[in-house]
Amino acid sequence: MASVSLRNVHKKFGPITVLESIDLDIADGEFVVLVGPSGCGKSTLLRSIAGLEAINGGEIQIGDRPVTHMAPKDRDIAMVFQSYALYPHMDVRRNMAFSLNLRKSPAALIGERVAEASAKLGLNALLDRLPKQLSGGQRQRVAMGRAIVRNPKVFLFDEPLSNLDAKLRATMRTEIKALHQSLKTTAIYVTHDQVEAMTMANRIVVMSDGVIQQVGPPLELYDRPANMFVAGFIGSPTMNFFDAVIVRGAARLADGSLLPLAPAAWKEGREIVIGIRPEHLHFADQGFPATVTVVEPLGMSTQVTLDAVEERVTLLALERPQLSPGDRKYLTAKAADIHVFDRVSGLRLN
Amino acid sequence: MPGQSLLQRILGQTGLYAAIACYVIFALLPIYWTIKISVTPQDLLYSEGIKLWPSRMTLANYTSVLKATDFPRYFLNSFLVSVTTAVIVTVVASFAGYALSRFRFRGKALVSLVLLLTQTFPLVMVIPPIYRIMGQLGLTDNLYGLIIIYTAFNIAFATFLMQSFLDGVPKDLEEAAMIDGCTRFEALRRVIMPLTLPGMGATVAFVFTAAWSELLFALMLINSESQKTFSVGLLTFVSKFAVDWGQMMAASVMALIPVCLFFMFLQRYLVTGLTAGAVKG
Amino acid sequence: MTAITADNLALQRQADRRRFLEPWLYLSPALVIIVTVLVVPLIIGISYSFRKFSAFRSEYVGLGQYRAMMVDPVLHDALINTLWWTVASLALQFFLGLGLALLLNQPFHGRRLVQGLVFLPWAVPIFLTGLTWAWLFNPLIGPLPHVFHAIGLQSEPVTILADPSTAMWGPIIANVWFGIPFFAITLLAARKSIPSELYEAASIDGATAWQQFTKVTLPFLAPTIAITVMLRTVWIATFADLIYVMTAGGPAGSTNTIATYIYVSAFKSLDKGYASAIAVLLLVLLIAYALIVIQIRRALLRDV
């Protein structure tokens, strides 16, 4: 187990910058999720930590050892790949024992560790099978087992669940989290799925265009996104955005309706964007007008799509409103639930 | 296929099998004819020259080739040269193919182009200089000289072949191995090599076939009876004993056996290996 | 702090160097062999083309050999023969190979066995291919003259290899026999890697079998076709063994190609200089051809 710290890491592929001065400290035992749209550099960052990509500058430290120029094998890490990367010519047992065999660990210890890991993951019955004889979920477990067996300082996960179906993904998500809670090994987990990020992480790192946008615990990112990118990326259904102008301490939307803002030193006439999460919008007697277009009952809640102020708006209602397409309603939100961003920089203002 | 009448389907099937039969007959006729003449007794050779199978069979041609000529020696020479060449080429081409398959580096396109262009070198052009160099090194009339030349001529194609097989092995696997504690070379040896064994087998067989077939260099570099390869031996046999058809055919059939065996093994992997590589473009 | 930074720089430089060298390390055995055994002799061969050789000595003659080449009627005929030999062999090999590849892509009983049998000619050593076909054309022991006579192609059952007007067909047929599997194997592999959804989509859109072939199969095979045709052209054009074994360039020079001519002129007349000059001509033609095909292939790859 160890902490991981990145100092001013950058990386280019030819003329394209994929990582731009990344600074990040990950505490011992933490579960950190790197999340972002595809091409944002999250996988490159993970592979740089693993040593599979060479970085063009900066330093990487695992525990108290600088590893920037070390080969992957000397970094004492384990990695679970999206494709699982199980060795097709070895059975499950040999797959799991491979790293310990390379280290020339005593046979008794290897047997013990493999048995321990396979018991933990329910792989006992599969030890003599080849990877091609396993289902997707089983392969996933073997990949996990291979990582656990070596008891590394850090676990790295590269989108390990994206090849599984939705149901299995949810199960494995819970299992990985439980596993982390029992092993307490530092873990860095890459995904493009913000639900995985929210549910699994101690801290989330949101990336875009090779830059860290925000780092924080899931709920902090959800409640106080640092900019419009994070606000739009975290949360499902996504946040609603409206262009607005400050008028006497309130936000005036394009159609002229006013929404109250929490008191602050707002500069009159400032051009802003306000963001409201779907569950924070509600129907009221006044606010801004909207026309219902689609009603989707989800059981626990109801998702309503409306047209308002030249925007498509999503509303999540916990009650079951009686609505039909074409209904005209007024929408509003509490001042405390409204996120305010600068229209040019996209940075949070409140 | 739906939407086709029964008649159309029958005609289609008949056409398919007829076309296949034509190809099989064309492919096998020369081989069949060689075998047929090799077992025809001397006295029936001309009288039954164009019969599909002789009325009597004999293995005398085979025994006399094996006992009375130097063919067993030629056979052994060819075998040694071909196996050695095949093994060296496959190892060297595996490394080169690995470099082309796994690394991005400056000059890679140039290396590929040079490899491709070596295929355009007219053999006849490099023969005189090679002959001179080999002479100075004392490698004329010597099997080592042949091995060196065959190796050089087969590396380019074998490299492309191995590159295409290696492209079919996911990169994740060696990365996993490198994280698990391998150096890059260990990952190549412990994970990538075992997975490309069929590809390496196909390459060995391909090069073996090419070396076993070669004539002109062997003809030029080899003079003494003890160093002759099968192709040279057979050709001198032809000019020396031009009348003994039966023995010549028997010798030919024996020359065919090892390559055909190798090839039966190779052709399946060739198609699948090239397919896997082609998928990745 | 400065010490650490300097240390780091050294490490960084070391890592960069390793990264730079690693691919070349893996390539080096292949490159060393190719350079010493092919490229160096090639350069020496080119230098020979500026000299004149006789039994015991050689002298520098500048472009003399090239000037002699210009007015050599045998070379002129050999060029035409080479073109004819290459184009005819290649076209027949290619179309028959493509046909075989498409047939082998169909499901039928015994396909694996058939595949093994029809690919077999490739395994037959070239000199044996030549000898065997020469025997098949021999009226004493071979069936073909009698077949040709029976169907009226020949008035007498004689070997076509002895008649200057037909002799070239002998090596061409042998070459086609030997070369079909090469095209069939590579094209079959390329055909198998075309996703079957494309054909399903095309047939749902109402494409006929012929349209599927021209609109889906051909465009996908085009890059493979370009590269295999190129390699094959080069091989056939420089390929002397088969003709050497079957006719040795005769009768009356009717099967003399540039490759056999170089061979004859290098080893029979002892003037390596003249042979090398002709080889340079052939090399230049082939490299130009190869570069053009590579360009065409690039264009094709961009389109797909």
> pLDDT category, C2, cuts 50, 70, 90?
very low
Which positions 60-89 of B are in contact with C (Cβ < 8 Å)? none
Is residue B226 scored above 80 in pLDDT?
A: yes
In a domain, B16, yes or no: yes
Instruction: Give dist(CA B269, CA A247) in Å, integer.
Output: 75
In a domain, B234, yes or no: yes
> pLDDT category, B155, cuts 50, 70, 90?
very high
> pLDDT category, A263, cuts 50, 70, 90?
confident
CA distances from B174 to A44, B189, B276, C38 (A): 17, 10, 18, 33
Same domain, C41 and C112: no
Over residues C216-234, the mean pLDDT reads: 82
Instruction: Count Cβ atoms below 10 Å from residue C303 Cβ, excluding itself.
Output: 8
Name the maximum alpha-carbon separation found in chain A.
76
Same domain, C120 and C252: yes
> pLDDT category, C3, cuts 50, 70, 90?
very low
Same domain, B11 and B79: no
When mean pLDDT is compared across A255-259, B153-157, C12-16, the lowest value belongs to C12-16
- Percent of chain B scored above 70 by pLDDT? 91
Is residue B9 scored above 50 in pLDDT?
A: yes
Give the ipTM.
0.83
In a domain, C60, yes or no: no
Helix axes B108-118, C272-303, angle to 10 degrees: 130
Same domain, C143 and C188: yes
Check if B189 contacts A (Cβ < 8 Å).
no
B196 contact residues in A (CB cutoff 8 A): none
> pLDDT category, A33, cuts 50, 70, 90?
very high
Backbone angles phi, psi at C145, to 5 degrees: -60, -35
Cα C6 versus chain centre, distance: 56
When mean pLDDT is compared across B150-154, B253-257, C296-300, the lowest value belongs to C296-300
C180 close to C93: Cβ distance less than 8 angstroms: yes
Tell if the CB–CB gap between A81 and B195 is shorter than 8 Å. no
Give the closest residue to A276 by CA, choosing from A317, A242, A302: A242
C15 close to A54: Cβ distance less than 8 angstroms: yes
Same domain, C125 and C174: yes
B196 to chain A nearest CA, in Å?
11
Tell if the CB–CB gap between B125 and C119 is shorter than 8 Å. no
Over residues A184-196, the mean pLDDT reads: 93
Read off the pLDDT of residues B85-96 as tens digits, 9 standing for 90 and up.
999 999 999 999
The partner residue sitting opposite C131, judged by closest CB among B28, B31, B252, is B252
Q: What was the pLDDT predicted at A48? A: 94
With 0-12 CB in 10 A as exposed, 13-18 as middle and 19+ as buried, what is A186?
buried
pTM (2 d.p.): 0.82
Tell if the CB–CB gap between C12 and A69 is shorter than 8 Å. yes
Total domains in chain B come to: 2
Tell if the CB–CB gap between B124 and C30 is shorter than 8 Å. no
Same domain, B40 and B92: no
In a domain, C54, yes or no: no
Is residue C6 scored above 70 in pLDDT?
A: no
Is residue B275 scored above 80 in pLDDT?
A: no
In a domain, C57, yes or no: no
Instruction: Count Cβ atoms below 10 Å from residue C95 Cβ, excluding itself.
Output: 13
Residues in chain A: 350
Domain CATH for B134: 1.10.3720.10
Instruction: Give dist(CA C59, CA C42) in Å, integer.
Output: 19
Is residue C151 scored above 70 in pLDDT?
A: yes
Q: What was the pLDDT predicted at B276? A: 47
Q: What share of chain C is helix, strand, coil (3-state, %, to 5)?
A: 75, 0, 20
Same domain, B13 and B121: no
Same domain, B202 and B110: yes
Read off the pLDDT of residues C70-107 as tens digits, 9 standing for 90 and up.
888 888 888 888 999 999 999 999 999 999 998 988 88
Domain that holds residue C132: 71-303
Same domain, B240 and B187: yes
B207 contact residues in C (CB cutoff 8 A): none
Domain that holds residue B40: 2-44
Same domain, B133 and B240: yes
Cα A246 versus chain centre, distance: 33
Is residue B279 scored above 50 in pLDDT?
A: no
Pick the most confident of A235-239, A262-266, C253-257: A235-239
Mean pLDDT of chain C: 82
Helix axes C258-267, C73-104, angle to 10 degrees: 130
Same domain, C24 and C82: no
Is residue B178 scored above 90 in pLDDT?
A: yes
* A and C: number of Cβ contacts within 8 A: 13
Mean pLDDT of chain A: 91
Read off the pLDDT of residues B46-86 as tens digits, 9 standing for 90 and up.
777 677 787 888 888 888 888 877 888 888 999 999 999 99
Tell if the CB–CB gap between C132 and B252 is shorter than 8 Å. yes
Instruction: Tell me which H or E stretch contains A222.
Output: helix A218-223
B44 close to B56: Cβ distance less than 8 angstroms: yes
Check if B24 contacts C (Cβ < 8 Å).
yes
Backbone angles phi, psi at A328, to 5 degrees: -100, 130
The token pair at A24 is: 């990040």
Over residues C221-235, the mean pLDDT reads: 82
Which positions 178-197 of B are in contact with C (Cβ < 8 Å)? 184
Same domain, C9 and C116: no
Same domain, B106 and B217: yes
Three-state DSSP class for C178? helix
When mean pLDDT is compared across A6-15, B172-181, C274-283, the lowest value belongs to C274-283
The token pair at C96 is: 């028959």
Q: What was the pLDDT predicted at B278? A: 34
Read off the pLDDT of residues A98-107 as tens digits, 9 standing for 90 and up.
999 998 999 9
Read off the pLDDT of residues A39-95 as tens digits, 9 standing for 90 and up.
899 999 999 999 998 888 899 999 989 998 888 999 999 999 998 899 988 999 999
Tell if the CB–CB gap between B179 and A88 is shorter than 8 Å. no
> pLDDT category, C196, cuts 50, 70, 90?
confident
> pLDDT category, B281, cuts 50, 70, 90?
very low
B201 close to B179: Cβ distance less than 8 angstroms: no
Is residue A190 scored above 50 in pLDDT?
A: yes
Same domain, C24 and C147: no
